[in-house]
Amino acid sequence: MTIDSNAAQEADETDPLRSFRDRFELPEGVIYLDGNSLGALPKGVRERVAHAIGTEWGTDLIRSWNSAEWVNLPQKVGNRIARVIGAKAGTVVAADSTSVNLFKVLSAALNLNPGRRTIVSERENFPTDLYIAEGVARQLGGKHGLVLADAPQDIPALLDEDVAVLMLTHVNYRTGYRHDMAELTKAAHEKGILTIWDLAHSAGAMALDVEAAQADFAIGCGYKYLNGGPGAPAFLYVDPRHHGGFRQPLSGWFGHRVPFEFEPGYVPSGGVEQYLCGTPPVLGMVALDEALALWDEVDMDALRRKSLALAELFMREIDAFADEFGLRLVTPREADKRGSQVSYACENGYAIMQALIARGVIGDFRAPDIIRFGFTPLYLNYAEVAQAASILRAILEERAWDRPEYKVRTAVT
Ligand SMILES: Cc1ncc(COP(=O)(O)O)c(C=O)c1O
């Protein structure tokens, strides 16, 4: 499907996902291209969280652990996420942050593959993934080494008999490059290597099938395309063939077989619940649970089609002036090699993004020189995308970014 700026309005009128926009609270005058970093607020969440605070906490107090089923939220939310990532019920839990979940699954995976000493990843992986791998290796006595591919095509050659785990982010946070999860998992398995996939930029951005891909473990964020709110609980998936046969190091009471028996010794739950550690953050869980309710109605193939078409429209509009203003596309043009974002490397990227935000187009900046735009098909429309590209053009033509206040770096970029 090729849509240009003239056809954008018509594309919006026939968009099969158009009704979802009404399910979100979106401020007037904003074109939101940062749902890949913090998803917008689904309408039901405000009321649900208010109920959890006012009634469940305020009135029912501690009884709500049972009556409102707070205690089961990690599994209930996990099952909702399972449907979005192509996993069976009982294989996903919501818990902790993505970083902490990676610590747990990487530790477990290395234990499942004793005798092998290498973790393979990518230099361009999201830094927290690499930092956690360093920490896990240190924790295990420093006998594991981290080998980093310089480019995606270098990965298969690194998979040898000493590799215990292949740990990758499915869609790269800076470039938007998308790996072939099934193909790389197959190549890893042929060498006896376990795989961990970080789905932070793919869960809720496209149809996924972790089960068909035979991923061993997966982790991901609740606050990006899943719209669970700032600091929402993250999730983790464990292939059922590893249930029972693994140990994770954060052996807290919520992962115990019978936490409310208060036994002195740790006996892990046989299933994915073993990956829970302590008391779940109920308010965050409730928000994420409500945000996930709408995914049952989403046609994931239509979602992916629209995601690709929105990004294509944006790239095509920007092609008209990219060279003139030194914007270099770093996202692959091939549909099967990208996620749901488009990124450009450019000089003065930080200031350009601040100028865009000042005119209501919200994207973000990733050091040293990337301006990044996320496309969330549930609440974004084609006309907005065309308009965002023309605002970018105006900012570049007018050098509107060249103001001191746009060059002052904030803590979060
Ligand atoms: C690929 C990837 N992994 C992990 C994270 C960080 O996750 P958390 O802050 O939940 O630990 C991010 C955050 O943007 C990310 O992009």
How far is Cα 73 from Cα 50, in angstroms, rounded to an integer? 17
The catalytically annotated residue of 20, 24, 32, 126 is 126
**Confidence check: pLDDT of 229 > 80:** yes
Grade residue 2 by pLDDT with cuts at 50, 70 and 90. low
**Between β-strands 328-329 and 341-345, what pairing exists: parallel, antiparallel or unpaired?**
antiparallel
What's the pLDDT at 247?
80
Please calculate the CA angle 184-276-116 and round it to the nearest 5 degrees.
40
Enumerate domains of the chain plus CATH numbers: 5-43+299-407 (3.90.1150.10), 69-296 (3.40.640.10)
Per the annotation, the verdict on 336 as an active-site residue is no
Handedness of CA 180, 182, 188, 191 (dihedral sign): negative
Taking only the tens place, the pLDDT of each residue in 334-346 is 999 999 999 999 9
Core vs surface per residue 57-69: b (16+ CB within 10 A) or e: beeeeeebbeebe
Ligand 1 centroid distance, CA of 176 (Å): 14
Ligand 1 centroid distance, CA of 202 (Å): 12
What's the pLDDT at 155?
98
Please calculate the CA angle 178-96-148 and round it to the nearest 5 degrees.
40
What's the pLDDT at 383?
96
Mean per-residue pLDDT for 406-411? 88
How far is Cα 13 from Cα 199, in angstroms, rounded to an integer? 31
- Ligand 1 atom with least separation from CA of 223: 10
Strand partners, 344: 329, 371
Dihedral, CA of residue 332, residue 333, residue 338 and residue 342, to nearest 10: 80
Per the annotation, the verdict on 262 as an active-site residue is no
Say how many Å lie between the first and final Cα of the chain, rounded. Answer: 33
Cα of 123 vs its chain's centroid, Å? 18
Taking only the tens place, the pLDDT of each residue in 254-291 is 999 999 999 999 999 989 999 999 999 999 999 999 99
Per the annotation, the verdict on 266 as an active-site residue is no
Answer whether 218's CB lies under 8 Å from 237's CB.
Answer: yes
Ligand 1 centroid distance, CA of 365 (Å): 15
Helix (H, G, I), strand (E, B) or coil at 35: coil
DSSP per-residue string spanning 358-392? HTTEE-EEETTTEEEEE--TTT--HHHHHHHHHHH
Identity at 47, one-letter amino acid code: E
Q: Which of these ranges, 62-76, 128-142, 237-251, has the smallest mean pLDDT?
A: 237-251
What's the pLDDT at 243?
84
Q: What share of the chain is helix, strand, coil (3-state, %, to 5)?
A: 45, 15, 40
What's the pLDDT at 63?
98
Grade residue 245 by pLDDT with cuts at 50, 70 and 90. confident
Q: What are the structure tokens assigned to 46, written together?
A: 């405000």
How far is Cα 12 from Cα 380, in angstroms, rounded to an integer? 10
Best residue among 36, 38, 101, 128 to mutate for probing ligand 1's pocket (most ligand atoms within 8 Å of CB) is 128
- pTM for the full model? 0.97
Ligand 1 centroid distance, CA of 128 (Å): 7
Q: Give every CB contact of residue 170 below 8 A, 6+ residues apart in sequence.
A: 178, 179, 181, 197, 198, 199, 201, 202, 339
Grade residue 408 by pLDDT with cuts at 50, 70 and 90. confident
Percentage of residues in the chain having pLDDT higher than 90: 94
**Confidence check: pLDDT of 35 > 80:** yes
DSSP per-residue string spanning 227-289? ---TT--EEEEE-GGGTTS---S---GGGBSSGGG--SS--B-SSGGGG--S---HHHHHHHH
How far is Cα 227 from Cα 37, in angstroms, rounded to an integer? 10
- Ligand 1 atom with least separation from CA of 99: 11
